[in-house]
Amino acid sequence: MLGIFPADHYIEDDEEFRSIIHIHIHRAEELAAEGYLVTVGIREGSVPDTNLSSYL
């Protein structure tokens, strides 16, 4: 299982984010146990903000 969480994404509700990640990590563990390669990450629509990072 691989989790990808870029550091420059803004997460408005920490508790909700943790809850959602917990649910998906649990499902990913089940799939990984069945032999699947699983990735967990932030879906499209969440983009880096050039005002808060070193992106040019």
Please give the pLDDT value at position 38: 84
53 domain residue, yes or no: no
**CA angle centred on 46, ends 5 and 18, rounded to 5°:** 50
Q: What is the pLDDT of residues 13-29, one digit of tens each?
A: 889 988 988 888 898 89
Q: Which residue has the tokens 């990072």?
A: 53
* Residue % of the chain over a pLDDT of 70: 71
Please tell me the total count of domains within the chain. 1
pTM of the model: 0.54
Spatial contact of 47 and 6, defined as CB atoms under 8 Å apart: no
The parent domain of residue 36 ranges over 2-41
28 domain residue, yes or no: yes
Instruction: Report how far Cα 52 is from the mean position of its chain's Cα atoms.
Output: 19
Mean pLDDT, the chain, rounded, equals: 77
6 domain residue, yes or no: yes
Q: Which residue has the tokens 């984010």?
A: 17
34 domain residue, yes or no: yes
Q: How confident is the model at residue 51 (pLDDT cuts 50, 70, 90)?
A: low
Spatial contact of 28 and 55, defined as CB atoms under 8 Å apart: no
Q: Tell me the average pLDDT across 48-52.
A: 58
